[in-house]
Amino acid sequence: MHFAFTDDQKMLRDTVRDVLQRECAPEVVRAAWEGRPEVTELTESVHLRISFRGEKFSLRSDQTAWIDDDLVLLGGRGLMDFGAGRWETRIILEGGGRYEVVQSTLGGEKRELVTVPQGTIISDVLPLYLNRHPGEEGKRRELTVFNMNLAQEIPFTSTYGGVTPDGRLFTVQYWGMEERIWFDAEGVVNREEMALGVQARIPKEDEKRGHLALEKVLTRTAVPAAGIPEDIGQRDEVLLALEGSFRTPPSGPWQMVKMEGDRAMARLVRPSVPPTGRREPDPRMMPEDGFALDLDSTRIRDLAARITEGITDPWDKAVAIGHWVNSSLRKSMRECFSALQVLETGEGECQSHSLLTVALSRASGIPARFAYGVVYMPDHGSYLFHTWVEVYTGEWIPIDPTLGDFPSGVDHLTLAVGSYRDQFRVFPYIMTKGGWRISLADFH
């Protein structure tokens, strides 16, 4: 990735920059470099109509990447639209392995320079790379893929399966997921078989678009539970056995995890709030990542001040914010991509509730971060994937603004903590091949 620009590469990079800044259509791009060195334009468009308990909404994803003949990503643009919220990303090559990444939500733009580590393959370039360098047929090989949107390296394995009637077949694994992908001779994806039985292919002209029943997705990703009491949320302590998990959940003051043979044992205790004299919102614990929180918004700051007016105790401030979010937002399956979008729509699922809670807490001077994991739901008889919040008032204390738990109880099993982007760290648990299960264990 760290290379010296040729004149042609500079010219193409500048063309892409101009296109992205002027919002030009792809046809303009093709015309702009007609007769110049070869550039491949990779596009992907996904449109789902999601049905949930009688309510229907759309999810749309449009991605475009421009790649030169040396497999260098010159730039790209992506748009995620959940109906209630939009998240747009633009990527422009600066040189020397550095890219400017511009992410836009309702709350404005965030710009950052991202350096791609040497020896990694940018995910946008991966389809072309695999077609040019398939590897030995039937032999698994390990790669490191870099996702520009997340600024994360992803361990990745690929096995070339040879030429089939549907194209060149690759079996790939990442984040605990396994996919089978068929490419045509030009590197275009013909067909995919993904986790949870999801399949994708190029539609025929006369085909109708279908519906994705979100209730079915929740059921498929639910973690089977055995022997879990319905009142687990009110208990002070439980011991859980995790079998078949792809990874080991993290340990902390309220969740102690250790391995016993091929299973993980998690001892969970109800979080205790520090006494009044020790409730200090230590500024050194304030996370630096502010993506999607809109902390420079006057509306966010003013709302945080209004909710916590007259409250001096940091824990009481956090609880007041959590209660306000819980009572003010309508519960729905709409996902937003920024705190301001949550306020605009006035509704959302657990990530939306948590997003607004983290933003308002930080605007009040209270360190806050996201917690991702599973929560036991008695009406399902299983653990469902969920997002909640941790606030620092002398200790990191979990609170759940969606379910109204302050603090949350031992029915919450944490799989990852961190920033808004860290939600992707639960993918290995969701997509573990063959599934995993949680059961109540005996302390003796």
Q: What is the pLDDT of residue 384?
A: 92
Q: What is the pLDDT of residue 309?
A: 96
> Domain containing 268: what range?
222-440
Q: What is the pLDDT of residue 68?
A: 83
Residue 127 lies in a domain: yes
Q: pLDDT tens for residues 69-90?
A: 888 888 888 888 766 667 788 8
Residues 179 and 232 in one domain: no
Q: What is the pLDDT of residue 379?
A: 87
Q: Are 300 and 340 in contact (CB under 8 A)?
A: yes
Residues 203 and 337 in one domain: no
373-395 mean pLDDT: 93
Residue 363: give its domain's CATH number.
3.10.620.30
Residues 368 and 328 in one domain: yes
- What is the residue-wise DSSP string for 162-219? EEETTEEEEEEEETTEEEEEEE-TTS-EEEEE-GGG-EEEPPPTTPPP-EEEHHHHHH
Distance CA 176, CA 154 (A): 11
Residues 265 and 138 in one domain: no
Residue 273 lies in a domain: yes
pLDDT above 80 (res 20)? no
- Kind of pairing between the strands at 199-201 and 121-122: unpaired
Residue 342 lies in a domain: yes
Q: Which two tokens stand for residue 91?
A: 């990527």
Confidence of residue 132 (pLDDT cuts 50, 70, 90): confident
Q: What is the pLDDT of residue 32?
A: 58
Q: pLDDT over 90 for what percent of the chain?
A: 40
Distance CA 77, CA 95 (A): 18
Residues 228 and 304 in one domain: yes
Angle subtended at Cα 405 by Cα 404 and Cα 410, rounded to the nearest 5 degrees: 145
Q: What is the pLDDT of residue 92?
A: 86
Residue 217 lies in a domain: no
Residues 128 and 261 in one domain: no
Q: pLDDT tens for residues 138-176?
A: 999 999 999 887 777 888 899 999 999 988 999 998 876
Q: How many domains does the chain have?
A: 2
Residues 269 and 206 in one domain: no
Domain final residue pick, 189, 212, 235: 212
The single-letter code of the amino acid at 400 is D
Residues 198 and 116 in one domain: yes
Q: Are 154 and 145 in contact (CB under 8 A)?
A: yes
Residue 1 lies in a domain: no
Residues 247 and 187 in one domain: no
Q: What is the pLDDT of residue 270?
A: 96
Q: What is the mean pLDDT of the chain?
A: 84
- What is the residue-wise DSSP string for 334-377? ---SSHHHHHHH-EE-HHHHHHHHHHHHHHTT--EEEEEEEEEE
Distance CA 357, CA 418 (A): 14
Q: Are 44 and 51 in contact (CB under 8 A)?
A: no
**Range of weakest confidence among 47-61, 77-91, 270-284, 357-371:** 47-61
Residues 355 and 394 in one domain: yes
Q: What is the pLDDT of residue 240?
A: 96
Confidence of residue 247 (pLDDT cuts 50, 70, 90): confident
Residues 362 and 255 in one domain: yes
